Every structure is written in structure tokens, then in C-alpha cells.
Chain A
Amino acid sequence: DTGVSQNPRHKITKRGQNVTFRCDPISEHNRLYWYRQTLGQGPEFLTYFQNEAQLEKSRLLSDRFSAERPKGSFSTLEIQRTEQGDSAMYLCASSLAAGEGIQYFGAGTRLSVL
């Protein structure tokens, strides 16, 4: 499978715990994006990387959230001191920088904060 891969698919945690999600993009894609989607809403942009550089962060990305993309390959999204409002689907997408930059999405990680 050469698509975008996300792990875990589902994470259940207690409020106050830290969680980390991983995204493996399509291998030749140099851009990687994180989005958050809540029930009944479209995905909302969180942040994106070009290679290893984090180029933009949304105001939705509070200081409890941090994302990394070491060596420009896979990326991790960490949420510290989780809150119930963090419960959502976290989606990763990747694209090429050139051309139309079509973004291809992974299956997402569903976070449930109890």
C-alpha cells in the first residue's frame, strides 16, 4: 500500500494524558499536512510541513499541540494534557509541492478523551 498511513487508528485516553499520533506520507511527497475534523464538520487545517520545515500553523494549534517531521519523512503530532474538546478525528495528508498540489489523505486517527 503506497497511500498515506496513520497510526493508531483509534486512541482512547483520559483527560490530562499526553498522546502522540504518527503519519507516514506517500513516499515521494514533500508536503505533509495535519487537519482536525469534528462530527458534522469538514476538516480544519492545523499545520503543514515542506520537507522537515514547519511552514504554517493554524491558531487552532494551541501550545499543547506540537508537530514534528524529522528528516522530512514521517510526522508526529503530540497533544499534551488532553482535554475533552480535543476529541476529534486527526487527519494527515500529503502532496507534492509542484503542480496542483493535490492532497491525499490517510484514514485518520480518532481520538476519544474521557
Chain B
Amino acid sequence: QKEVEQDPGPLSVPEGAIVSLNCTYSNSAFQYFMWYRQYSRKGPELLMYTYSSGNKEDGRFTAQVDKSSKYISLFIRDSQPSDSATYLCASPGFQKLVFGTGTRLLVSP
């Protein structure tokens, strides 16, 4: 079992939709959680990070962590075609990041 699991998608939505991207993790030692966005043939770009359970909002993006169920979510409001990318969740495990496989999101105009 991988330490961080994600549905690889692709997830296709129309422009303006609310998008929900999810991860589960198995290691109870994970304390921080990050969401990275990766455009095709580019490096991952940090979107959000969160430490505790609960919600963290930044513009159209909301990150949610539920440590009791080991569940991480990223919500994107008013999705745009420019949001089309792969979204990777990650957690630092002993100095290195442990990533999920990434979920590919396609937002059509």
C-alpha cells in the first residue's frame, strides 16, 4: 500500500464548476500536507500547505484535512481552463516529500 493514495483521473469538468480533489494517507506520523500543481512537462508548483485538521483558504482554493480519517481534500471554486493540470498531494516524511500519483484535471471552456 502506498503511503499517499490519489485517484489518477482524469477528472473532466466544465468551466465554472467546483472541483473536489482527494487523497488518503496511511502514515499517522504525517503532520503537514501540501498540494502541488504540475502543468505538462513542468515541475510541481506549490499551491497550498496545511498543518492541522480543518480548512485553509487561499483565493479560489480551499485545502481541507481530516486527520481522524486520514483524508485530504482540495476544492477549487469557479474552475478555469488554466486550472487544467495534474494536482499532487504530498506530505513530508523524514525530510523527503511523499507524493500521491497525482490527479489530472481537465477544465473545458
Contacts and interface: CB of A to CB of B under 8 A. Distances in A.
Q: What size tier do the contact residues of chain A reach?
A: 20 to 34
B45 A105 contact: yes
Q: What size tier do the contact residues of chain B reach?
A: 20 to 34
A43 B44 contact: yes
A70 interface: no
Contacts, number: 59
A106 B102 CA distance: 18
A102 to B, nearest CB: 6
A113 B36 CA distance: 28
Nearest to B44: A105
A74 interface: no
B65 to A, nearest CB: 14
A98 interface: no
Most chain B CB within 10 A, of A40, A101, A105, is at A105
Contact of B99 (A43, A104, A106, A110): A43
